[in-house]
Chains A and B, each alone.
Chain A
Amino acid sequence: MYAQMVKTDAARVRSLDEMDPVERAFQERIDAGQKIEPKEWMPEGYRKTLVRQISQHAHSEIVGQLPEGNWITRAPTLERKAILLAKVQDEAGHGLYLYCAAETLGISRDEMYAQLHSGKAKYSSIFNYPTLTWADIGAIGWLVDGAAIMNQVPLQRCSYGPYARAMVRICKEESFHQRQGYDVLMKMVKGTPAQKAMVQDALNRWWWPSLMMFGPSDDASVHSAQSMAWKIKQNSNDELRQKFVDQTVPQAKYLGLTVPDPDLKWNEEKGGYDFGEPDWEEFFNVIAGNGPCNAERLNARKKAWDDGAWFRDGLTAHAEKVSDRRTAAKIAAE
């Protein structure tokens, strides 16, 4: 999940009877499954929540280029290099659609960047973990994209039209990425013992951070309840996490890997796996900026932005010159 713990400003979820007629009409449209479009009236809390969530999602795509980009120059074959390049390019593209979707809510991309660079806006905790071997590239595709899909498939039904539509396109590409990631690992587990050990090591490191992507249990969270009432969120964090574990464990077995959770056990009664609790202290530390790569990731993004200021200014200045010349030519012609 690329958007974790998104706040809504709500103290509690209000009933229809407590709303004024305009807000009530809005809520009734949502309840009826209608999409809300950019120029339509919406409660300020709805707008702000979406800005937080969509920008967090966009920032995750952009920061997410870094851990994978880390291996493009070291990809082991030309084909793998091309696939990884295409994948990272897709992620930049996802960032672009998402920033555009957020812009329909009255915030500019530059403002969102400023929030990312100042630390005010967050991005998914998962991208603060390092990619240490080539198997990590496979593991990210398999686990991280797999977890993202769990969250993004329901988001295609989100009440806000531009976000829902961006998700349709993004989901198609993410599924492809997940298959590619799994394919990297399939090839490696069929390879040498060293390659297989590399894959197991990657699973050991990425398993728990992947489960943390869904965020802590939110059954008691007023923010989640409000997001659900607005149909920005469709499932609880625990529901999605369970679904992810149930889908992923058989895939790990197929690869001949051991999931690093001693409590993992099939529960016939619930028709799903029981599993251990992620280390939430670690999660909150990563969110607070203490993850292994928080400083590098944010500094890399800030550096790219600062170093590129002259480039962006140059293009803007040129566009102004061209426009001035056109105006001057027009005046001269008149």
Chain B
Amino acid sequence: MATAALDPAARQAALLEFLLRIGDNTLILGHRVSEWCGHSPALEEDIALANTALDLIGQTQLWLGLAGEVEGKGRSADDLAYLRDGYEFRNILLVERPNGDFGKTLMRQFLFDAWHYLLLKALKGSSDTRIAEIAEKAFKEVSYHLDRSRDLVIRLGDGTAESHRRMQEALDELWPFTGEMFMSDALDAELVEAGIVPAPESLKAGWDEIVAETLAEGTLKKPADGYMHKGGRRGVHTEHLGFILSEMQFLQRAYPGATW
């Protein structure tokens, strides 16, 4: 590890990879959440979801902007968002899951928010000040996202029989996509060593605690930890991502070089 940590090129590659992972998470989840615009079950939810999507897209601009800077090839946040193909995306599979009913959307948000919150909290202390600064700003927003999604999971879990059933189904369906948040590889190790990012597995205990408390309060049953899907972090995605990108990237692809 010590040798690897001294190699600036390896460090830069690992840093770029990390920034794509976090920036692609916010980009793809922001996209999914924004699909609800005008279609959610209550006007207050339309406003809240648009707000969440807006925060996530704003964070994407910062993370991918920094990724472009670190890469040093003149690519902007927009270039990275709009001109990469699916295999180059590094988001976890959880965030590309289809919205489903509003319960699935909320459960996905909660499971992600709890992790995102802990990750950003740790990143505020990153040895890379550029990362620490972005995390500082994003942490405030995500604290609110977590408050909100946690509260709704509890209320709907402990609501009617139907809302309980839907939330439990959402949890059971999404659970196998949560393991990827805590997996790590050599690139993570490189950055952990340098104090730039927390070890992914170090966030697991805190996440388990938030999730366990929330589910208990919402009278929901935590699924058994069985097989966990993975692949997104190294560019192997589900079929859903291609459709997200073909929609998102349509104008940039159809009119190459145009400015908007």
Contact = CB atoms under 8 A, between A and B. Distances in A.
A76 interface: yes
State the majority secondary structure of interface residues on B. helix
Given A73-B247, A314-B155, A317-B163, A304 B38 contact: yes
B50 A321 contact: no
Contacts of B158: 318, 321
A302 to B, nearest CB: 11
A76 B61 contact: no
A93 interface: yes
Given A191-B258, A318-B159, A73 B34 contact: yes
Contact of B37 (A85, A93, A194): A85
Nearest to B102: A311
Give chain A's interface secondary structure class: helix
Interface in B46-67: 46-47, 50-51, 53-54, 57-58, 60-61, 64
Contacts of B247: 73-74
Interface range for B: 35 or more
A65 B46 contact: yes
A96 B162 contact: no
A307 B61 contact: no
Contact of B50 (A89, A191, A311): A89
Contact of A311 (B41, B43, B57, B82): B41
B3 interface: no
Interface stretch (B5-13, B141-149, B185-193, B248-256): B248-256
B52 to A, nearest CB: 10
6 contacts: A73-B31, A74-B251, A78-B27, A95-B43, A305-B41, A310-B160
Interface of A: 62, 65-66, 69, 72-82, 85-86, 88-89, 92-93, 95-96, 99, 109, 134, 184, 187-188, 191-192, 194-195, 300, 303-305, 307-319, 321
Interface of B: 27, 31, 34-35, 37-47, 50-51, 53-54, 57-58, 60-61, 64, 77-78, 81-82, 101-103, 154-156, 158-160, 162-164, 166, 247-248, 250-252, 255, 257-260
